[in-house]
Amino acid sequence: MTVKLLADASELYVFAESADRVTKERAMRRRQMKWLGKRLRELVAMEISCEEMLMKLGAARSRAPTAWRLVDIEMDKESSMFIDTLNWQKLRKVRRREGRYLLRTNLTENDPALLWQYYIQLVAVEQAFKNLKGDLAIRPVFHHDERRIEAHIFIAFLAYCLQVTLQRRLHALAPGLTARSVLEKFAAVQMIDVHLPTADGRELVLTRYTQPERELQLLIQQLRLQLPPQPSLKITPAALAHVT
């Protein structure tokens, strides 16, 4: 990370450049451009109405907004056909800006490293509110009683604390992953109840969680976690009446 201070008459400008951020942002942009290019080739081959084509192009734009800004789309006025071209001028500008930031502040502190630290803290706070409202769904609140609203927010805050703890663990053991991506992978593990009727009228209940796929199993090992043992066999109350 390179941080420089640019002095002005009334404001301070901090220029920050990170080689790691350059690599990360370029990789993200390339993934979007690869996906968008493939999707546009698929759309060109489709024989659909102009209205349907516009809707599909809009969906592609929402899926890959960064790559979309680098492509010029020219629609045919009488059909659903279109021509897409890469805007090299925009691409060169984006490449020069990736991983580079210019901060403007009215703080009198002239230590650029400290000003950059303040900015990172601000980003972390904004991300925390985004997680609370998005991933943890703290909003909207459908309660009317004040105590229930407070309980709702408290549970959401506990969930956020667990999310931050998971992110810290990922930073140390699997830095290439985010808490959101890990939770999406763990969502594939489900808990199910298997009911097995017997010939004498009894019923056995087996509560089992699905075995993780190989990719998830490697992630569990990387995080140094261990799944709990499978629950023991259960007998329903109705079956207990047959046991003497």
DSSP string, 157-174: HHHHHHHHHHHHHHHHH-
- Bridge partner list, 173: none
Q: What is the mean pLDDT of the chain?
A: 82
Q: Has residue 70 got a pLDDT over 90?
A: yes
pLDDT at 238 over 70: no
Structure confidence at residue 29 (pLDDT) = 93
Structural domains of the chain, count? 3
Name which of 71-75, 114-118, 138-142, 206-210 the model is least confident about: 138-142
Mean pLDDT comparison of 58-62, 123-127, 220-224, highest-scoring range: 58-62
DSSP 8-state code for residue 9:
S
pLDDT of residue 243: 45
Higher pLDDT, 107 or 73: 73
Which of 54, 71, 98 terminates a domain? The answer is 98
Long-range pairs for 108-117 at CB < 8 Å and ≥24 separation? 110/5, 110/12, 112/3, 112/4, 112/5, 112/14, 112/16, 113/3, 115/5, 115/12, 115/14, 116/1, 116/3, 116/14, 116/16
**Residues in Cβ contact with 222 at an 8 Å cutoff, skipping those fewer than 6 apart:** 173, 174
Domain final residue, candidates 184, 200, 222: 184
Taken as a whole, the chain contains a residue count of 244
Tens of pLDDT, residues 110-139: 677 787 788 877 777 777 777 766 766 666
Are 203 and 180 in a shared domain? no
Task: Give the domain range for residue 153.
Answer: 109-184
Q: Is residue 149 part of a domain?
A: yes
231: helix, strand or coil: coil
Question: Does residue 104 lie within any of the structural domains?
Answer: no
Residue 44 lies in a domain: yes
Intra-chain end-to-end CA distance of the chain, in Å:
74
Last residue of a domain, one of 77, 98, 119: 98
Share of the chain above pLDDT 70, in %: 87
Q: How confident is the model at residue 242 (pLDDT cuts 50, 70, 90)?
A: very low
pLDDT band per the 50, 70, 90 thresholds, residue 244: very low
In a domain, 14, yes or no: no
Residue 109 has pLDDT above 70, yes or no: no
Do 86 and 141 lie in one domain? The reply is no
For 24-55, what is each residue's pLDDT tens digit?
Answer: 899 999 999 999 999 999 999 998 888 899 99
Residue 139 domain-assigned (yes or no): yes
Q: Over the stretch 148-200, which tens digit does the pLDDT of each residue have? A: 888 877 887 888 888 888 888 888 888 878 887 888 888 888 888 888 888 77
Beta bridge partners of 143: none
